[in-house]
Amino acid sequence: MKKKLTIGLFGFGVVGQGLYNVLSQTHGVKAEIKRIAIKDKSKTRTLPQELFTTDKTEILNDPSIDIVVELINDHEAAYAIVKEAIEKGKHVVTANKRMLAENLEEFYELQQRYGKSILYEGSVCGSIPIIRNLEEYYDNDLLTSIEGIFNGSTNYILTKVFEEKKSYADALLKAQELGFAETDPALDVEGYDAKFKLVIAIAHTFGVFVKPADVINIGIDKISATDLKYAKENNLSIKLVARAFKQGDKVFAFVAPQFIEAHHPLASIRNEYNAVLVEGAFAEKQTFVGKGAGSYPTGSAVLSDVSALTYGYAYEYKKRAQHEALSFSNDLRVEAVVTFEDQHSVSIKDFETFKSGYAANGKQLLQGILTLAQFKALSERDGVSVLLAANATFSPIAESVPEDLLAS
């Protein structure tokens, strides 16, 4: 039965204000914010000062508060808030992907122990309701893969670089001014943010809890002028793609930039929009598109979780309950394009299988098959840029290399 719930809100930044605004403008959600915990009470705010507190216990120890909504940017402090809230019998809604990704298995166990929900639709791809769909729509589908553009900041930057010929630095600055990228953009541009979201999605796609440290992430910060030239000459774009897929009893996952052909579903995803491609045995391929960054898109996702709690909703982690014996692995071959200037930086010996390459005006490009470990190692060399090839095929190392990968 739908009931009216009382909220204690932690954080009143971009997303917190977005939640307050969407909650005040909708009439379908029976919930109200009683208290807002902030760091600095001296700041001038548009709401009455009595709503705000700097003492977290005023929320956590208040028996009239049913839901703690955690929207702060400190993942360690967020962890402590979420854990204590559950232990004190409160439901939790959060959008903190790093905190969730690093502690998801523990939070799963806490939910089972205390019978309270932790919902986090807003943590993965903003306004796209992907977690709820993985839990409900795809609950009995044999899912084989999930991939897409999971970070709106990098997609905004790449859009400006490709379509408006802006420099990487100018595009990044604009993303920061619009609130899509943080002041310290490393989590976005180096692929960490997308990785945290992918780790959360994997738990609901395959029922496997994966540690973020085990998932390889390569960002867009080393994309070179040669990469851009190669893309334009071959009618390609570049997207930062997060992907996870199942082969046999293994789940493989990583984040990396990739050359994308013009007809690919991700090619048309622009600016701060995200896209998620899900493939299953029964539903086959489906695409979800929506804004992945900004105050209202994330705020609306958080509000959807609050609304779900008025009906007593909880994630059931249905894929995990199906007890399919899957384990995570990085033992994978990938097809990659490597660009560099110093002729001594990379050689064909760095590839398991070399396919093609060229050199012009001091710029060099090599394409071939690498293990995922080699792919990551090359990305860490100075002056070297590594991207997945267009239509790259992936092959577990335990298997033989497919002939189409070996063909030059």
Dist. CA 385–CA 381, nearest whole Å? 8
- Which residue type is seen at 257? P
Going by the DSSP 8-state scheme, the letter that residue 402 receives in this structure is P
Give the CATH number of the domain where residue 375 resides. 3.30.70
Number of domains in the chain: 2
Q: Which among 267, 291, 315 is the end of a domain?
A: 291
Q: In sequence order, what are the residues at sequence separation of 6 or more whose Cβ sits closer than 8 angstroms to the Cβ of residue 23?
A: 29, 31, 32, 33, 303, 306
- Strands (E) in 248-362, as ranges, are 250-261, 273-280, 284-291, 327-328, 332-340, 353-360
To the nearest whole number, what is the mean pLDDT of the chain?
92
Give the H/E segment covering residue 153. Answer: helix 152-163
Residues 270 and 157 in one domain: yes
Mean pLDDT calculated for residue range 226-233: 94
Residues 198 and 265 in one domain: yes
Mean pLDDT calculated for residue range 354-374: 92
**pLDDT tens digits, 127-152:** 899 999 999 999 888 899 999 999 99
- 390 touches 258 (CB < 8 A): yes
**pLDDT tens digits, 71-94:** 999 999 999 999 999 999 999 999
Q: How far apart are the first and last CA of the chain?
A: 62
Cα–Cα separations (whole angstroms), residue 364 to 225, 259, 280, 374, 399: 11, 17, 39, 18, 31
pLDDT-derived band at 28, boundaries 50, 70, 90: confident
Residues 174 and 251 in one domain: yes
Dist. CA 153–CA 136, nearest whole Å? 29
Residues 198 and 256 in one domain: yes
Residues 219 and 287 in one domain: yes
Whether the pLDDT of residue 201 is over 80: the answer is yes
Q: Give me the helices (H) in 219-361, please.
A: 225-233, 295-309, 318-321
Q: In sequence order, what are the residues at sequence separation of 6 or more whose Cβ sits closer than 8 angstroms to the Cβ of residue 190?
A: 217, 218, 219, 221
**pLDDT tens digits, 261-285:** 999 999 999 999 999 999 998 888 9
Q: In sequence order, what are the residues at sequence separation of 6 or more whose Cβ sits closer than 8 angstroms to the Cβ of residue 250?
A: 326, 327, 328, 329, 331, 396
Residues 174 and 285 in one domain: yes
53-57, 208-212, 342-346, 396-400: least confident range = 396-400
For residue 284, is it left (φ>0), alpha (ψ between -120 and 50) or beta? left
Whether the pLDDT of residue 366 is over 60: the answer is yes
Residue 209 lies in a domain: yes
**pLDDT tens digits, 113-129:** 999 999 999 999 988 99
Catalytic residue among 116, 160, 197, 246: 197
Mean pLDDT calculated for residue range 338-350: 91
Number of H helices, E strands in the chain: 14, 18
Residues 232 and 368 in one domain: no
- Which residue type is seen at 292? G
Phi, psi of 236 (to 5 degrees): -115, 160
Nearest to 10 by CA among 73, 64, 63, 61: 73
Whether the pLDDT of residue 406 is over 60: the answer is no
Domain span at residue 267 reads: 142-291
Dist. CA 371–CA 152, nearest whole Å? 28
At residue 405, the pLDDT reads: 53
**pLDDT tens digits, 149-200:** 999 999 999 999 998 999 999 999 998 888 787 778 999 999 999 999 999 9
Residue 269 lies in a domain: yes
Residue 57 lies in a domain: no
Q: Which residues on neighbouring strands pair with residue 145, listed in sequence order? A: 245, 279
SS3 content of the chain, % helix, strand, coil (to 5): 35, 25, 40
Mean pLDDT calculated for residue range 242-246: 97
Q: Dihedral sign, CA of 292, 295, 301, 305?
A: positive
Residues 279 and 340 in one domain: no
Residues 188 and 266 in one domain: yes
The residue behind tokens 């553009």 is 149
Dist. CA 40–CA 33, nearest whole Å? 19
pLDDT-derived band at 1, boundaries 50, 70, 90: very low
Residue 274 lies in a domain: yes
Rounded to two decimals, the pTM is 0.94
Q: Which among 291, 324, 353 is the end of a domain?
A: 291
Residues 246 and 349 in one domain: no
Mean pLDDT calculated for residue range 366-388: 97
The residue behind tokens 């930086």 is 345
Dist. CA 66–CA 5, nearest whole Å? 6
Residue 205 lies in a domain: yes
Residue 321 lies in a domain: no
Whether the pLDDT of residue 400 is over 70: the answer is no
* DSSP line for 76-87: HHHHHHHHHHHH
Residues 246 and 368 in one domain: no
At residue 408, the pLDDT reads: 41
Give the CATH number of the domain where residue 222 resides. 3.30.360.10
Nearest to 94 by CA among 208, 10, 33: 10
Q: Which among 240, 274, 291 is the end of a domain?
A: 291
Mean pLDDT calculated for residue range 303-321: 93
Q: Work out the burial of residue 381: count CB atoms within 10 Å of its CB; fewer than 13 is exposed, 13-18 middle, 19 or more buried.
A: middle
Dist. CA 70–CA 93, nearest whole Å? 6
Residue 26 lies in a domain: no
At residue 402, the pLDDT reads: 56
**pLDDT tens digits, 89-99:** 999 999 999 99
Dist. CA 33–CA 16, nearest whole Å? 11
Residues 183 and 255 in one domain: yes
Residue 191 lies in a domain: yes
Dist. CA 215–CA 253, nearest whole Å? 6
Mean pLDDT calculated for residue range 345-366: 91
Is residue 197 annotated as a catalytic residue, yes or no? yes
